[in-house]
Structure formats: structure tokens, C-alpha cells
Amino acid sequence: MRIALSADHAGVDLKDALAAWLGETGYDILDLGTHGAASVDYPDYGARLARALGEGEAERGIAICGSGIGIAIAANRNPACRCAQVSEPLSATFARSHNDANAIALGARLIGIEMAKACVTAFLTTKFEGGRHQHRVDMLSHLEQERA
């Protein structure tokens, strides 16, 4: 499985650590940057991640900024991306099993590397349940249409 990772300056160290760990675990990594501590804009990196998922360059994505919130909002502007901000493994599990999330966002200033690894493991190993959840996931692609 190919995993895309993107981060702003606040998340670059966590991104690099996760990329190394995932590579050692056998995943193919697509590193979308940033690659240093110079200040950058998280919306650009959320958009990069979403675009990579939408264009089929990766099956899953991990976006990282200081809180995980801003980069998740940016990624979710692209309808091909369902990015959930997570901070512990249970939310990562539900993001996959109930919402078929194809990306997660992590807050580098809020969690450490071990918790981040636990979230990523849950995200990458949990399968979407489908069933009663499928029609709701389908709705996420069509929210601009008014629903009765």
C-alpha cells in the first residue's frame, strides 16, 4: 500500500519519523513535504495530500500540522478526500470502519510519536464496515445537493 504524507513546518519532524517507520514496516511512501523547519502554509500541504489521493497516487494519506485541525480542513476541501483529525487509536479506528476515511490528520504539538504510531496502525489496519455506513459515506460526496 502506498501512503502519502504531508506536513507543514510544525509537523515536519513527526512526518519524517512516521515516514521512516512506515518505510521500515514495508509501506511505500509518497513524501509530499515540507522538508524543513521554514514556515509554510498548511492549506498547501492539505491540498497536496488530497490531490494525491484523488489522482490515485496513494491509497491512504497522513497529514500533519501543529493541531491537525487546519490541515484536515484543507484536505477535506477536495471531495476525493475524507480526512479525519485523530488523536488516539479509537478515533482512527472509527474513521476507517464507519467513515471509510482515506486520510487522517495528526497534531504534532498534541501527541507524541508513540501515540501517532498507534493512530496510524489503527488507521492502516482497520477495514471499512460498509453496510449501514455506506450510504452515509456516499452522501459525503454529494453534500452540496439539498437533502429533504
Catalytic residues: 65, 98
CB 9 within 8 A of CB 38: yes
Give CA separation, 95 vs 17, 29, 81, 103, 133, in Å: 23, 21, 12, 9, 11
For 11-43, give one letter per residue: b (16+ CB within 10 A) or e.
bbebbeebbebbeeeebebbebebeeeeebebb
Rounded to 5°, angle at Cα 103 from 101 and 105:
120
